[in-house]
Structure 1
Amino acid sequence: MGRYTLRRLLQLVPVFLGTTLIIYYLVWGLSDDPFAGKCGQRECPASYVATMTERLNLDDPVLLQWLKYLGGLLTGDFGRTFSGNEVSELIANAAPISFRLALVAVVIEIVIGITAGLVSGLRGRGYVDSLILVSTLFLISLPVFVTGLVVKQVFGVELGWIRTSVPPDPTILDLFVPGLVLGSLSMAFVARLTRTSLMENARADFVRTAVAKGLSRRRVVLAHMLRTSLIPVVTFIGTDLGALMGGAVVTEGVFNIRGLGGLVFTGIQRQEQTQVVGVVALLVIIYLVVNLIVDLLYAVLDPRIRYD
């Protein structure tokens, strides 16, 4: 396990370098004039252009710019926006909110999604199974922004059961409804993945062996079938965590949440390239770390998998 972990950590290095280079080039290398539209209808003053060009190393080739940016990134310096704000401070304020929101969404995915998939997979084709399949299909068919707007309008505006806007420093309870909306689509996928995987493993040899040994149905399901069936589910949830943190632009907008999704959106809207690159680089790191954890969890869930 130790050698495998070290090898996977070393593999993350070229992936991180390659992805950040691509992101940096797409944001900075494809733009002929990074100052276009920065000063409204008029051209930016020459002094402003000269100052920003020196600060952002825009006179250097893109590869050298990236190397200098990477050097600062490794020391925790995400650069500064055109308006002079430290990107690291913006991320430090937004990341905890997005992390709590993503955590709420993932917990909802795990609890409701796996439970629904477990019930559906064990009961087979019946009323409950059909109800779960129809419900999950309904959630998959609805875009997240539609779900968010409907929940906000019905339960917030008309019934007054929830807040229509999340406070600036929200608690886990404040983020429950936005997290439910954000995780609704993934929750449906988790339920279907769990159901399909359980029904496939129900006919596996190791399950028949466990039943032949006289183990109780509860032990067969929880200790044998469910653990192995969770491998594709864990893979999906692991990749989904990074997507939930960075892809919650619509949900954060609907409920007025000041997270990373909103930071990316405002960065694109205001042409703050340094802000966009910094947030996306952080999301790349999160993706890589989560994928490493998922790989290590495989051996815990399935005893047949060994990293020797």
Structure 2
Amino acid sequence: MGRYVLRRLLQLIPVFIGTTFIIYALVWALPGDPFAGRCGDRACPPAYIAEMTDKYNLDDPVIVQYFKYLGQLLTGDFGETFAGIEISTLLADAYPITIRLAIVALVIEAVIGILAGILTGLRGRGFLDNLVLMSTLFLISLPVFVTGFILQVVLGTELGIIRPSVSSEGTWGELIVPGFVLGSLSMAYVARLTRTSLMENKRADYIRTATAKGLEPKRVVGVHLLRNSMIPVVTFLGTDLGALMGGAIVTEGIFNIRGIGGLIYDSILTKEGATVTGIVTLLVLVYLLMNLLVDLLYAVLDPRIRYD
């Protein structure tokens, strides 16, 4: 196992370099004046342009710029915005609440989605199966901003159960409804994926063999059927954490959450390339580490999988 983990960590290095270079090139190598509109209606003074060009190595080729930036990252330096604010400070302020929001969304989609999928997958076709299929299709068809707006108005404005806007602290309790909104689409996919995987594996040879050997139905389902059926679900959930963090712009905007989503949106509007690059680089790290964790969980779920 240790050698496998080491090999996978080494494989992450070229993937990280390749993805972050593409991101860096897309942000900094696009045609256009990076200082357009930076100084209001007037053109920026030549002294300011020269200082910023030297600070961000804009005179160097893109590949040279990238490796200089990568060297800064290895020391924990994400650079500064054009206004001189440390990007690491912005990330430290915005990332905690987005991580909490993504975790809440992931837990909600995993618990509700897997339970709904198990109930329908084990019972087969019937009223409950049709109800879950219709409910998940409704969630898939409904845009996230519509779901968020409806819940905000009904639960916040009309009934007063929740606060329409999340406070600056962003406590776990305040993030339950925004987390449900953020994870609603993935929750529908998890339910359908669990249902399909269970119904497919119920007809597998190893399930028929376990039943023919006289094992208790609970053991057949819990030890054999569920563990093997959860592999595609775990894969989806593992990769979805990064997607939830990067795709929280709409949800954070509806509930006035000052997290990564709002920071990305503001950075794009103000053309803060360094901030956008730093945020996306962290998201890439989340994706890579979650993929490694998912690979390790395969051996726990399926005894046929061994890493030698």
Q: Which stretches of structure 1, 4 residues or longer, exceed 3 Å deviation after superposition?
A: none
The corresponding residue for 2:183 is 183
Structure 2 counterparts to residues 144-159 of structure 1, below 5 A: 144-159=144-159
Q: Which amino acid aligns with 1:107?
A: V
Structure 2 counterparts to residues 109-120 of structure 1, below 5 A: 109-120=109-120
How far off is 1:32 after superposition? 3.2
How far off is 1:210 after superposition? 1.3
TM-score using structure 1 length = 0.98
Distance in 1, Cα, partners of 2:213 & 2:142: 45
CA-to-partner distance for each residue in 1:43-68, whole Å, 9 max, x for gaps?
A: 01122112211111111111111111
Where in structure 2 are there 5+ consecutive unaligned residues?
none
How far off is 1:109 after superposition? 1.0
Q: Which amino acid aligns with 1:250?
A: V
CA-to-partner distance for each residue in 1:229-272, whole Å, 9 max, x for gaps?
A: 01100111111100001110000000011111111111001111
Distance in 1, Cα, partners of 2:219 & 2:100: 34
Q: Which amino acid aligns with 2:57?
A: N
Distance in 2, Cα, partners of 1:216 & 1:118: 18
The corresponding residue for 1:205 is 205
Q: Which amino acid aligns with 2:126?
A: G
Distance in 2, Cα, partners of 1:215 & 1:176: 40
How far off is 1:72 after superposition? 0.5
TM-score using structure 2 length = 0.98
Distance in 2, Cα, partners of 1:249 & 1:197: 32
Distance in 1, Cα, partners of 2:217 & 2:165: 46
Where in structure 1 are there 5+ consecutive unaligned residues?
none
The corresponding residue for 1:58 is 58
Distance in 2, Cα, partners of 1:216 & 1:188: 31
The corresponding residue for 1:11 is 11
How far off is 1:110 after superposition? 1.1
Structure 2 counterparts to residues 152-171 of structure 1, below 5 A: 152-171=152-171
CA-to-partner distance for each residue in 1:116-147, whole Å, 9 max, x for gaps?
A: 00000011000011101100110011111110
How far off is 1:169 after superposition? 1.2
CA RMSD of aligned residues (A): 0.9
The corresponding residue for 1:227 is 227
Percent of aligned pairs with the same amino acid? 68
Distance in 1, Cα, partners of 2:5 & 2:264: 32
CA-to-partner distance for each residue in 1:279-305, whole Å, 9 max, x for gaps?
A: 000000110000000011111111111
Distance in 2, Cα, partners of 1:261 & 1:216: 49
